[in-house]
Structure 1
Amino acid sequence: MTARLSPKQAGLLFALIMSLLMAAIMSGIITAVNRGLAPGYLMAWGRSFAIAWPIAFPLILVLAPRVRAFVERVARG
């Protein structure tokens, strides 16, 4: 038996995964650019991620549907 997600649940899961990935990648890169890969990098990255993810998650929840609608309008011409 496979579990199916409702469209709302799928949207939340998408936002969760996308925000985790984007916040981790971006905070990691920006921390590396600003500090280098010196001792303490992972701790600094963790702090940056802890700040970035709670911002990224609700932003994706709010912005993804608007961006999707914009792209659909542009794609239709």
Structure 2
Amino acid sequence: MRIPVRYAHLLFGALLSAIMVSVVSVVVLLMNQSPANGFFGLWLKAVITTWPIAFPTVLVVSPLVRRVVARMTAPEREA
């Protein structure tokens, strides 16, 4: 099953935020706890708790970041 291209920005935001939340939460948990019994449950709880915040944040912030990057960069000259 393929998703229509009109939803690409939502899929991009969902995947990017899920990956970032997963990576950041595991790093923070490892910094504050040892990977003992129950670590996976704590990590999953952290991901489930923070992803609903990260997803809309990515959707709102990414267009702004794209505009800032576009202003900060210039097209490369062809050789």
TM over 0.5: yes
What is the letter of the counterpart of residue 58 of structure 1?
P
**What is the number of residues matched between the two proteins?**
73
Q: Which runs of 5+ in 1 are unaligned?
A: none
Residues of 1 paired with 2:34 and 2:60: CA distance?
33
C-alpha RMSD of matched pairs (Å):
1.5
Normalization by structure 2: what TM-score?
0.84
Same amino acid, percent of matched pairs: 33
Asked which structure has the greater CA Rg, the reply is: 2
Which of the pair is proportionally richer in helix? 1
The 3-state SS of whatever aligns with 1:38 is coil
| Superposed CA offset, 1:23-67 (max 9, x none) | 111111111111121111111101111111011000000000000
- Detail structure 1 runs of 4+ shifted over 2 Å in the superposition: none
Normalization by structure 1: what TM-score?
0.86
Higher RCO (C-alpha 8 Å, min separation 6):
2
The 3-state SS of whatever aligns with 1:37 is coil
